[in-house]
Amino acid sequence: MSNESLGGDFILVGFSDQPKLEKILFVIVLICYLLTLVGNTIIIMVSSVDPMLQTPMYYFLTNLSFVDLCLTTSVAPQLLWNLHGTDKTITPIGCAIQLYASLALGSTECILLTVMAYDRYAAVCRPLHYVTVMHPRLCQSLVGVSWLSGLGNTLIQGTITLRLPLCGNRKIYNFMCEVPTMIKLACVDVHANEVQLFMASLILLLLPLSLILISYGYIAQAVMRIRSVQAWRKALGTCGSHLLVVSLFYMTITAVYIHPNSSYAQSQGKFITLLYTIVTPTLNPLIYTLRNKDVKGALKRLVQRDQNIAD
């Protein structure tokens, strides 16, 4: 961060223009954060200890839950502090940490959701070769690529953004530090930064989304060839949870990063950001547990085992 950027704390305007809404949001965010902590921790624990869930799908799901857990944690505590009191500030170091963490985790989730779509493609379209195709080394490599892509993106975008001169402008019209809002604080021409942000968004948002849609296109073709109601139900059971998660995540994050200067993104940006940083990580474990018989079965086995140990 440049010397000018280190001159004082940033002001997270957030929802301060709506005091009544702040009180409601404080309760909602607190509940969502607690549910995120509990839900994702349960998925990580169950997927790690239950032998029936030692499969590529749940290996990826464990990583997704960990990403969601960290993403919400990088945002929620500061947001709760700002919603609860009159102090809306965040230190330059705190802002930089939040920007790097949220950008790295959000970028990682984009690639990880694509990896999970490929896993579903292999499960439905190549069931006889699934174990061979999705072998442990490949799964570990795909997860590694997801994390490295997220880290690489945040080191480039985050560093460039934080080096922009601010000239005393420290009001962030959002509840967190992220690239689209930080760029608007600069007192120089940021056209090059906007182009760079758009190109990065194409690579890490639209390209993964395109690959996900292609994967599900092949899945739909494979199921339609079978022409069986049972096959459709199995495909929906296998892919439905992932499709819901993808829809929730991509519909919100693309609105902020693909067209950050649109009137809609500027007026509703903080509410959209609230959805993909707080609400979606809360819903993900609920979607996977409520729609997934394997996870519900693993939870029952874990509870029964604990009861037997207690007895």
Interhelix angle for 229-257 vs 92-125, to 10°?
160
pLDDT at 248: 86
Element (H, E) at 253: helix 229-257
pTM beyond 0.75, yes or no: yes
Cα distance between residue 41 and residue 285, in whole Å:
9
Along the chain (311 residues), what's the average pLDDT of each consecutive run of 10 residues? 60 88 94 94 87 87 95 95 88 94 94 94 89 93 96 93 85 90 88 86 90 91 77 72 86 79 61 90 82 72 67 54
Name all domains of the chain by residue range, CATH numbers in brackets.
4-302 (1.20.1070.10)
Torsion angle, alpha carbons of 270, 274, 276, 278, to 10: 160
pLDDT at 195: 87
Query: What burial class does residue 96 get, using C-beta atoms within 10 Å of its C-beta: 0-12 exposed, 13-18 middle, 19+ buried?
Result: buried
Cα distance between residue 109 and residue 114, in whole Å:
9
